[in-house]
Structure 1
Amino acid sequence: MSTDTTASFFDLVLLLEKRSNFYDDTKRYDGLTDEVLQYICAGLNCPDYNLLKSIKTNSYVNAKPVAQPFPLIIYFAGFNGMSYENYQLFDSLARNGFVVAAVSSIGVYPGNMTMDAAGLFEQINDARFVIEHLTKNNTATRAVGLVGYSWGGLASVIMAMAEPDKVKAIVSLDGSEQFSYGNPEDDESLNRIREASFFNPNAVRASFLYLDSDYAVDDDLPDSVYNISDHILGDKWYLKIDHSKHEDFTSLSVVVPNDVGHDVYDAIQQLTINYLSDKLTGTHVFEERIPSKGITKKFSQPQATAPRATDKILLKGLVQDLTTNLPLPYATLGILNKDQGTTTDSKGEFQLPLQDTNVHDTLRISMIGYEPREIYLKDIVPAQKRLRIRLREKSVELKEVGIVEKKLVTKVLGNKTESKFFGGKFAHGDLGSELAIRIKSKGRPTYLEKFCFNISYNTADTATFRVTIYEAKNGLPSQNILTRDILVRANNRTGKIEVDLSEYNIAVNDDFFIGLQWIAGRTTSGIVFSAGFANKGTFYRKASEARWKKYPMGVGFNVTAKY
């Protein structure tokens, strides 16, 4: 109707802020909407996040419902997600004669989803309430379909296991019930769910469609560790969407008007609508309208093969100074180009878990002020002796320092955010892992006076970090320019932490990276650094010799510099 108010994308995201303030009475989330829009904008490379505020949807605020029941679609949002992540799909489903109810991924009170059964069933119970409420009010018929994205796909399938008589169809949009995250901690959480008594794919009676992202272009098989399609006995389809990524299964991939990525999302959306129309209204259009190009629909059933057993090895040892034999605390050890590594403790001792597949790898041991050393694991692994590794102190050539008579400009460079909502963190147990941001050169000698970062969340009783400063090479951190260790003991503090760099006489002439390396502390601790969008990019590596990776948001690291 002409009197209905059209909802903007801002209105949809604002619901997240309202939900957070409603469910969590421990803190306020005022301003969260703007930060979420900045986050989405950074991922989409849009020039100004304010553009997202004005985008109009095809949904209406407080629109009067049609006075008759329609088939019901329950949408399960992704991990800690809400309805704005797939609003365009909801608009299309509504235009095709469905009532759509989006169930947020809230988790157990006070409002954060966790990767466990309790969080899953909180979302499932919310869906049960919605079904009963809408059917009793004669808004929806008893023909119920489920759609779930990512973590929501897992929730939707488990609901179909628990409520086989209520659910007629499921569409999983790259759901977590099918693939492995590749992160050991997350994989363990998923395996606990899959091994639980309630997880019984044989109980699913609903028709099942799995739409998969295209991680391996040449592979026609589901690219997962656990293929749920093998265990569902009823009507099922598996389709891989060629040249698609995980994020392409949400409206966020196409929320900014352009010509990129729309074909993939349009195909996902139309397949979903056609499948649900077939199963809930009997249209019989799905199979005949599967595109002849861009969709892989035929694949051989994967053979159930057990993974090759590997022998676990625990490498133990001591790192010492070659001349004095004194132990070297907080030296780093890492497998070259792999996400495996650790640090020595305050006594110079270390333990590094390995597997027999590492036998052909190279272990690199390094410490600021010492020459690094490399050891071929095939020379030491079979013996499994306690290693004594000695490092030679590096001779340091003092650089000339020019005296500048003109007055220097003092400025803060980097990301000054103190956000409570977005952040970057070290993964559990990954001693030796690093976070860093790139600082642009001012085109002349720049002297570093102070380094600052902000901790928004901290459950650690002890935590020690090493400040790192790297030259920039080919867009990545390269050589560490420091000649002395700069250690920061954060312990259980939150808020801004400042590190005085003035005594270290650090001068740079070109772009550089500055960051933190986690070297000591309880490995089960949770520490989150504020992150934002002023410096678009955090560089991260899981171990001291792993490859650097870039993520879109910049952690709140900054330096006070004079130039």
Structure 2
Amino acid sequence: MKIFSILILLLIPILVPSQTLKGVVLDSITNKTLPYASLALKDKNSGVYSNEDGTYSFNISKASAKDTLVISLIGYHNKKIAVTHILDRTEEDLNFQMLPKFETLDEVLIHNTSKTYRNNKIKLSSGNRKLIFPFSVPFGYETATLIENPKHKNGKLVKLHLKFKDSSKDIYDTYQTYYRIAFYNIDSLGFPGDLLHFENIIIKPEIHEKNYIIDLEDKGIPFTKKGIFIGIETVKPDSVKLKSSMYVTTPSILHTHTKHRLKYARFRSNDWVKHSRKSVHKDKLYAVPFIKIEMVYEKEKTK
């Protein structure tokens, strides 16, 4: 009987005592504060963002002693810390220093500036602009949508166009959101792979905004032979205070329908999951963010 009781106790996860982590996320080289860095528990839908001034507050009372805290930000190496190590700390605030990816960034910039491109711009999109509808995504979730390359030639992005639902006349409660934009390669399994650009791009559309265009001409973002994944992460602004676990983010990105599963999703730094659920509007199609891009192809080298 005693052995059985011990086994039961071992199977019960050890919960962390009521505790809220507070501190600042910093660049380890410049010591500058880093806004909108992600702090999350690995493999769980629990996390926060650092504020505009780099400060954060994260209640981890529901975490298990076996959990891992992951701090991540585009352009920086992820930092992973066991929750048990955090419990041993004695200081009042817990600051995190992030190491920038200098070497990778330099290699990308040198590689891209040595290329020449055609003048004619090619316009591509994720689906049909005549079949668009609003879709609210909770804070902390990122979707990556594949834009395929029809000519299978290398190029670069020059413009990104997103469309939003005008929410200025909504009669129900909504919460304004920011969005983080990222660009990913396609890995050997067809999933979003390595980052193609290391700048932390945060956009802040107004609730009445319908169109948002980002000029990428000077960013040197490669458009690979297979295509590119465009990631859109829903980031909670400092001023937003949620009243419930059920809420609507605004302005909502307009979605469209596709015949193929072109969308992947994840919560913060967790693994990507391929979107397999059919649209609630079209039972034979898949819903993906409606994304338009402009790109140019590389000039062929003359012998």
- Determine if the TM-score, normalized by the shorter chain, exceeds 0.5: yes
Matches within 5 A, 1:468-483: 468-473=182-187, 474-483=189-198
TM-fit CA distance, 1:417: 2.8
Match of 1:316 among 19, 22, 41: 22
Q: How far, CA to CA, are the matches of 1:309 and 1:404 in structure 2?
A: 58
TM-fit CA distance, 1:381: 2.9
**What do the CA deviations read for 1:446-487 (whole angstroms, capped 9, x no partner)?**
211111121125366743211111122222222222121222
Question: Is the alpha carbon distance of 1:497 and 1:405 closer, same or farther for their aligned partners in structure 2, counting shifts above 3 Å?
Answer: closer
Helix, strand or coil for the counterpart of 1:411?
strand
Q: How far, CA to CA, are the matches of 1:405 and 1:562 in structure 2?
A: 6
Determine the structure 2 residue equivalent to 1:381. 87
Q: Does 1:531 align with 2:255?
A: yes
**What do the CA deviations read for 1:23-55 (whole angstroms, capped 9, x no partner)?**
xxxxxxxxxxxxxxxxxxxxxxxxxxxxxxxxx
TM-fit CA distance, 1:413: 3.1
Matches within 5 A, 1:104-143: none
Q: Which runs of 5+ in 2 are unaligned?
A: 1-11, 169-173, 243-247, 278-285, 298-303
Match of 1:414 among 126, 140, 149: 126
**What do the CA deviations read for 1:101-158 (whole angstroms, capped 9, x no partner)?**
xxxxxxxxxxxxxxxxxxxxxxxxxxxxxxxxxxxxxxxxxxxxxxxxxxxxxxxxxx
Q: Does 1:448 align with 2:157?
A: yes
TM-fit CA distance, 1:514: 0.2
- AA aligned opposite 2:50: T
Question: Is the alpha carbon distance of 1:353 and 1:418 closer, same or farther for their aligned partners in structure 2, counting shifts above 3 Å?
Answer: farther
Determine the structure 2 residue equivalent to 1:555. 289
**What do the CA deviations read for 1:371-420 (whole angstroms, capped 9, x no partner)?**
22111111003548421101122212233245447554522232353656
Query: Pairwise CA RMSD of aligned residues?
Result: 2.8
Determine the structure 1 residue equivalent to 2:269. 544
Helix, strand or coil for the counterpart of 2:198?
coil
Q: How far, CA to CA, are the matches of 1:457 and 1:308 in structure 2?
A: 45
TM-fit CA distance, 1:312: 4.4
Match of 2:222 among 500, 504, 507: 507
Q: How many residues align?
A: 253
**What do the CA deviations read for 1:241-261 (whole angstroms, capped 9, x no partner)?**
xxxxxxxxxxxxxxxxxxxxx
Please state which structure has a larger fraction of its residues in strand.
Answer: 2
Q: Does 1:348 align with 2:54?
A: yes
**What do the CA deviations read for 1:157-214 (whole angstroms, capped 9, x no partner)?**
xxxxxxxxxxxxxxxxxxxxxxxxxxxxxxxxxxxxxxxxxxxxxxxxxxxxxxxxxx
TM-fit CA distance, 1:313: 3.4
TM-fit CA distance, 1:356: 4.8
Q: How far, CA to CA, are the matches of 1:486 and 1:371 in structure 2?
A: 17
Q: RCO (CA 8 Å, sep 6+): is it higher in 1 or 2?
A: 2
Q: Taking structure 1 as the reference length, what is the TM-score of the superposition? A: 0.41
Percent same amino acid among aligned pairs? 21
- AA aligned opposite 1:487: I
Determine the structure 1 residue equivalent to 2:282. none
Q: Verify the 8 A CA contact 2:126 2:292 in the aligned structure 1.
A: yes
Q: Which runs of 5+ in 1 are unaligned?
A: 1-306
Q: How far, CA to CA, are the matches of 1:392 and 1:361 in structure 2?
A: 22
Please state which structure has a larger fraction of its residues in helix.
Answer: 1
Q: Verify the 8 A CA contact 2:143 2:265 in the aligned structure 1.
A: yes
Q: Taking structure 2 as the reference length, what is the TM-score of the superposition? A: 0.72
Match of 2:180 among 466, 490, 494: 466
TM-fit CA distance, 1:490: 0.6
Q: Does 1:434 align with 2:142?
A: yes
